Amino acid sequence: MRIFAFETYEEMSRHAAAVMAAEVRENPRTVLGLATGSTPLGMYAELGRMCRAGEISFRDVTTVNLDEYYGLTPDHEMSYRYFMEKNFFSLIDILPENTHLPDGTAPSPAMECQRYDRLIDSVGGIGMQLLGIGHDGHIGFNEPADQFVPGTNYVRLTEDTIRANARFFASEADVPRYALTTGIRAIMQAKKILMVVNGAAKAEILCRALFGPITPQVPASILLLHPNVTVCGEAPAMAMIREKFPTAIEK
């Protein structure tokens, strides 16, 4: 695992964008596992700038997103499909047919989970998986639980996640209670993992995730078993790691 700390969010975003850009340049047909949330916004904007400047192309790239709220249509402003179109896909030259998210309107969540796992397999698995981390240690919407769930699954969001995501909605009551999320298997089978983290509120959970113990109560802790993880963190999110494990940080 490589852990990098940056003084500003902009620096962190630029570095994370450079890591993803290197993946796309090395493997123009790579499959990117993508994430929503506020953390990757700067990185997506930077990749958009690079694409407009002709420094990178996503023409042959395929993307599979981690998760989607259940019950929201793709054109709903709070759906993750809408988020991705607005904050990333519209900024780059990716082909719309190569972008995939779970379908939050599928009548049967169970069948949609199976379809999404087959889709990930059919594109050859994930080359680089981008992850944020939730305040409760979730990755995707894999919430703290008694066991890790391997496949794409239909989950009830925790109260913590509902509260955290309420900032994007008119009120907490409007946050969907259920979501579809890629499971731990597809994430762990990604060849490379890139995690982005900012904000002092993530400092403790990030430290618990990256230094163990490995437990489904901190879903991101499973990443300790992955052979190729890069973590890009803004300084406040790195505070506890800096204090407890200073030599683990490369920059």
| Residues binding ligand PGA (CB under 6 A) | 37-39, 132-134
Pick between residue 93 and residue 236 the one whose CB is nearest to ligand PGA.
Answer: 236
Pick between residue 132 and residue 183 the one whose CB is nearest to ligand PGA.
Answer: 132
**Residue positions annotated with a catalytic role:** 67, 136, 138, 143
Residue 141 CB, nearest distance to ligand PGA (Å)? 8
Pick between residue 96 and residue 167 the one whose CB is nearest to ligand PGA.
Answer: 167
Strands 128-131 and 192-197: parallel
Pick between residue 37 and residue 102 the one whose CB is nearest to ligand PGA.
Answer: 37
Exposure of 178 in the CB half-sphere (CA atoms within 13 A): 13
38: alpha, beta or left? (left if phi > 0; alpha if psi -120 to 50): alpha
Residue 134 CB, nearest distance to ligand PGA (Å)? 4
DSSP calls for 3-36 = EEEESSHHHHHHHHHHHHHHHHHH-TT-EEEE--
Residue 95 CB, nearest distance to ligand PGA (Å)? 26
Strands 31-34 and 67-69: unpaired
Q: Which residue, judged by CB position, is nearest to ligand PGA in the bound state? A: 37
- Which are the contacts of 114, defined by CB distance < 8 A and separation ≥ 6? 151, 152
Residue 28 CB, nearest distance to ligand PGA (Å)? 27
Residue 132 CB, nearest distance to ligand PGA (Å)? 3
What SS3 state is found at 155? Answer: strand
Tell which residue, 139, 135, 123, has the closest CA to residue 60. Answer: 123
Token pair recorded at residue 210: 């990256």
Pick between residue 82 and residue 115 the one whose CB is nearest to ligand PGA.
Answer: 82
- Which are the contacts of 150, defined by CB distance < 8 A and separation ≥ 6? 183, 184, 185
What SS3 state is found at 103? Answer: coil
